[in-house]
Amino acid sequence: MYQGVALHDSLLATTRNFKLYALAMDDDAYAMLQKLNRDTLIPVKLDQLLTEEVCVIRGQTTHGQFCWVNQPLICEYLLDYYQLEMVTYLESDSYFFSDPELLFEELGSDSVSLVPHNFSSEFDNTESAGRFCVQFNAFRNDGRARAVLADWKAANFQYHKTDPRAYPGQTCLDDWPVKYSGVKVIENCGAGVAPWNVRGYILGESSGAPTVNGRPVVFYHFHQYGRLISGEHDLGSYPMTSDVIDMFYRPYIQALRRSKAAVINADPLFKHQRFFKEYVRLSDLFGAPSIEKFSSFIGGVKRKLRGRFNVFPDNYF
């Protein structure tokens, strides 16, 4: 919820004439979005997407997989119900630093946009994650885009809880530029800056906003970010420089504070928040040792040795 509201507010600060349709995966989320009462943040109830076929798929998937199943479904629903000229799928853990209009200009007369992962060489995960990332996928309300959406839906219906490491709805994107006309691969490196590629860019600043390779960062994808029960922030397991933390994570965490305050102001009883598990410290092993605790402790040690233990107290930001 807090990340989604922060995403909305980043769009409010960087662009005009938009509406962000938020798919609420439970009733509490839907009610909260209604209480926020923002003209540019429109809640969509999950029930609107639940056909008999989708309900069958829901029974075969984990909750996380079912969230992915709904990616093309929400796009189709919005195009049909609201008769929109175009819809762009966004991930709620993204945040805009500049106007995305540049990306729509690059789309031109094409019908579908794809943003590459742009993996830096040391983190190239193309083989299992695919060349493209589900993060900024525009679909016009035309036949070309509808064919791609149908392909995406068929791939997403292959998710199954017995195969949690398969990502058919992600890897199928690689085929779109080959199989379909009107698919535009976005070349602007400011789209989809993320932990897996930021080390491959030259960072800079222009008018107080971050740049990569001299181009404005359009949006950053905060993959793996989360809070620990202690209140600490876990920025993920990719190595990060202090410049990356200061340019991207510091303003993002400050934005999350504002969005959480807005949510609590709208409903003081809203207490939902996802927390990551704490890393087990050496002292924790002595009281009541277990395999789970030892595994967590070793995981933390490995991240520290590899320069990937990006856990910071709240007052750091």
CA quadruple 275, 235, 190, 175: dihedral sign:
negative
Question: Given a cut of 90, is residue 279 above it in pLDDT?
Answer: no
Q: Can you tell me the distance from the alpha carbon of 20 to that of 131, in angstroms, rounded to the nearest whole number?
A: 26
Does residue 158 belong to any structural domain of this protein? yes
Cβ distance 251 to 205 under 8 Å? no
Question: Given a cut of 80, is residue 125 above it in pLDDT?
Answer: yes
Q: What is the pTM of this model?
A: 0.94
Q: What is the DSSP letter of 81?
A: H
Q: What is the DSSP letter of 241?
A: -
Q: According to the model, what pLDDT value does residue 298 have?
A: 87
Strands 311-312 and 233-234: antiparallel
Does residue 123 belong to any structural domain of this protein? yes
Does residue 176 belong to any structural domain of this protein? yes
Question: To the nearest 10°, the Cα dihedral for 20, 23, 26, 32?
Answer: 10
Query: How sure is the predictor about 216, in pLDDT bands with cuts at 50, 70 and 90?
Result: very high
Does residue 263 belong to any structural domain of this protein? yes
CATH number of the CATH domain containing 176: 3.90.550
- Residue 51 has which token pair? 């056909």
Does residue 33 belong to any structural domain of this protein? yes
Q: According to the model, what pLDDT value does residue 277 have?
A: 85
Domain hosting residue 216, numbered range: 2-279
- pLDDT, the chain, mean: 95
Residue 88 has phi, psi (to 5 degrees) of: -125, 120
**Number of independent structural domains in the chain:** 1
Furthest C-alpha separation in the chain: 64
The percent of residues above 90 in pLDDT, for the chain, comes to: 89
Does residue 98 belong to any structural domain of this protein? yes
Q: According to the model, what pLDDT value does residue 231 have?
A: 93
Q: What is the DSSP letter of 100?
A: T
Better-scored residue on pLDDT, 193 or 298: 193
Does residue 285 belong to any structural domain of this protein? no
Cβ distance 226 to 93 under 8 Å? no
* Sheet with 233-234, side-by-side order of all strands: 275-276, 226-228, 233-234, 311-312
Q: Who contacts 270 (Cβ-Cβ below 8 Å, separation ≥6)?
A: 1, 28, 32, 263, 264
Per-residue pLDDT reduced to its tens digit, 239-272: 999 999 999 999 999 999 999 999 999 999 998 9
